[in-house]
Structure 1
Amino acid sequence: MVPTKLAVLSQVCLISTLSILATPLFASERSIPELVDAVNGTPDDASREAGKKVKLRNHAKGFCTSGEFTPNPALQDFLTIPFFNQAEIDITARFSLGGTNLHASDKASGRFMSLKIDSDKESLNFVTTNAERFFASNLEDFFIFQTKVKQGAEGKQWLIDNKPDASAFFDYIKLLPPSASFANSRYFGVNSFLFSASTGEIKPGRWIFEPVSGVINLSQTELANLSDDFLKTELLTRIKEKPAVWDLYIQLAQEGDEIDDPTVLWPETRQRLLVGQVIVNGDRDTETSTLQCDKGIFNPLLLPKGIAPSADPILNARTAAYVESFIRRL
């Protein structure tokens, strides 16, 4: 292993160890290697080794860019999170599609945005999707979903017939149109976190990113005139002229809302707190942190003081699964 890879691996393990130890998996749940195998479609030794050789990963088709985060000073009136009590903070962003196919078509509806917001002392990572609803509430159902979708139409039909959460997810995706740009997509953190309020209370909430330029979707006619690889060029060209900007909100739960189940949507009427603005402008695209963006993980459990994970089993398995996938690609 070359020194650079060793250094990156050491850093990944260091930032994730406490998260993994603090959130053990129950014996009844699937193991982390099994979950990664299900996502990668590598159910046996031969396929697993073949996957390692080609550095198989989820969200394979993607790219990195950069920008800054500007916190909303008024947030401190509601929440006690020192991380947000500062000026602009550097951002490393990765935009991607779902799945392991490096050549997936951009004409599908799925859009994903991951962010690293790094200050001198603390960091905050986001892993988000343009689908507000998730397809599984526990690791066993996550494993089953990933395994069955690899079986094509027959597996999908089995999920529709036997797994209500998966069926609801498919219904949602069926109505989700492809956006014209990564910059014109909403993004959701489907998992809940616990936020320290200025009153001393703990407030559960979820992240929502709203595009300042609005949600713009494509018709089938418009899609037909585009290539299968239009998204990267579109965004990188766009930000040369004008940054892509999102307002970041925390959607707060009310008493009785399901906190630990990402398949459950909360009403749109729930209170939102404006956290600040994400500004993607490409200003640091030649810096090492951006150029080596893929040589690490986006760890959603790397949290600053004042933010803690909920008990959601999907959330608490993410870091360990990302580390397992990362190690297989070394």
Structure 2
Amino acid sequence: MISRRNALLGLVAIGGAGTVSVGGLAYAGGRFPADRLTPADFADRFEEVYGKHTGFRRNHAKGVSVSGYFTANGAGAEVSRASVFASGRTPVTGRFSLSGGLPDAPDATPTVRGLALLFHLPDGEQWRTAMINLPVFLDRSPEGFFARMLAAKPLPGTGKPDPEKMAAFLARHPETAKAMAIVKKHPPTSGFDDSTYNGLNAFRCTNDAGDTVPVRWTLKPMQPVRPGSTTAPPGRDHLFDALIANISQEPLRWRLLLTVGRAGDPTDDATRPWPAGRRTIDAGTLTIDSVQTEAAGNARDINFDPLILPDGISASDDPLLSARSAVYSQSFTRRSGEPKTPSPVDVAKGQ
């Protein structure tokens, strides 16, 4: 029989670079008790793990800005009165990224991919959401995320986490071990364009009749899905280069799917998927038709705070939501006051 220790050590390898920053959208922080963790603690830990890179995000540092639009078909209005779900087109500013705090890290297929969006709604209203290409998040609480970052810090000699520290962490956090097992069953696709992006956290949607239901959202690619490469393609920025080339040839599209939860479905635990067979509403199509090097005035300077929500969408009881909001703010404040250097991903070179 395989020992518990060996089983946990096996989980350390799941996702390659993802064990360090899997789903790393700074899902940590929030309204902490005065004698416990603070948003600054999390920003400091990102700098401890990845080093300090002035002017860049503390996590998901490597990325490009994109723009496009969302075309709603009206179906989402069944569960939410948010104007974004009324039939019509909404301008969108977005950002594709890789998890981790290194703005010039070589692209690796297992590294967690992110897509953050800002929907520009009428009358100055906004909806901001940050998603990743994992089916579940690896941590249930801010404290778990904080501990995992240190346990998964790469060793200088190997570039991989200390297996003993990671195994000890997983023994203390069985919910993370279960989530990693789920992630292992969903290997990454070939690139940004054919990835499915999940919001992971639950939210509450309220319609015109005042009915409220729990909802999770997903962006499902309309491009053909291809398996990820098991060997690293040439080029430090091969994932971004492919994304840039694809958008320059034709727009990329995803369907926005709203999964409606039922009574008893967990809304406070992003490590647990909802049961299969939950009703899904196809709310419309996201189109990305332009990509830009990060610079002043585009997504580089946007804080994709998950609690900036339109009327008709509200936060659930998931403790990670207020946590994410607080740490995003801390990271944004730090980088806003720092000198900027050019983004390592130059869109002009990839076209």
**TM-score over 0.5 for the pair:** yes
**Residues 89-128 of structure 1: pairs in structure 2 closer than 5 A:** 89-109=90-110, 110-121=112-123, 122-128=125-131
User: Which amino acid is the alignment partner of residue 147 of structure 2?
Assistant: I
Tell me, in whole angstroms, the C-alpha distance in 1 between the residues paired with 2:238 and 2:294: 25
2:263 matched residue in structure 1: 255
Checking the alignment, whether the CA contact within 8 Å between 2:130 and 2:306 is kept in structure 1 is yes
Gaps in structure 2 of 5+ consecutive residues? 1-29, 155-160, 338-351
- Which digits, 9 at most, give the CA deviation of each residue in 1:82-126, with x for residues without a partner? 332252111111001101122323223221110111123211111
Count of equivalent residues? 298
CA distance in 2, matches of 1:224, 1:52: 25
Deviations 1:49-96 (A, max 9, x none): x72656561111111111111112233244322332252111111001
Quick one: distance in 2 between partners of 1:286 and 1:224?
Answer: 23
Q: If the length of structure 1 is used for normalisation, what is the TM-score?
A: 0.82
SS of residue in 1 equivalent to 2:299: coil
> What RMSD, in angstroms, separates the aligned Cα atoms of the two structures?
2.5
Cα distance 1:169–1:108, how it changes in 2: closer, same or farther (>3 A)? farther
Corresponding residue for residue 45 of structure 2: 38
More helix, by proportion: 1
C-alpha displacement at 1:301, in angstroms?
Answer: 0.8
**C-alpha distance in 2, partners of 1:52/1:232?**
20
The aligned residue for residue 129 of structure 1 is 132
1:216 is aligned to 226
Q: Cα deviation per residue 1:128-162 (whole Å; 9 max; x = unaligned)?
A: 00012112111221211122212622332222222
Cα displacement string for residues 254-298 of structure 1 (whole angstroms, at most 9, x for unaligned residues): 111111111111123111112211100118x59988x53112311
Q: What is the alpha-carbon distance in structure 2 between the residues aligned to residue 194 and residue 225 of structure 1? A: 41
Letter in 2 for 1:234: A
Give the direction of change, closer, same or farther, for the CA distance of 1:35–1:74 in structure 2 (3 Å limit). same
**Aligned to 2:300, what secondary structure does the other structure show?**
coil
Instruction: Give me the identity figure in percent.
Output: 30
Residue of structure 2 equivalent to 1:164? 174
TM-score (norm 2): 0.77
Task: Give the structure 2 partner of residue 276 of structure 1.
Answer: 284
Residue 177 of structure 1 is matched in structure 2 by 187
**1:146 maps to which residue?**
149
The answer on whether the counterparts of 1:145 and 1:166 sit within 8 Å (CA) in structure 2 is no
Contact kept, 8 Å, 2:56 with 2:103, in 1: the verdict is no
Q: Distance in 2 between matches of 1:280 and 1:319?
A: 25
Give the deviation of 1:27 after TM superposition.
Answer: 4.9
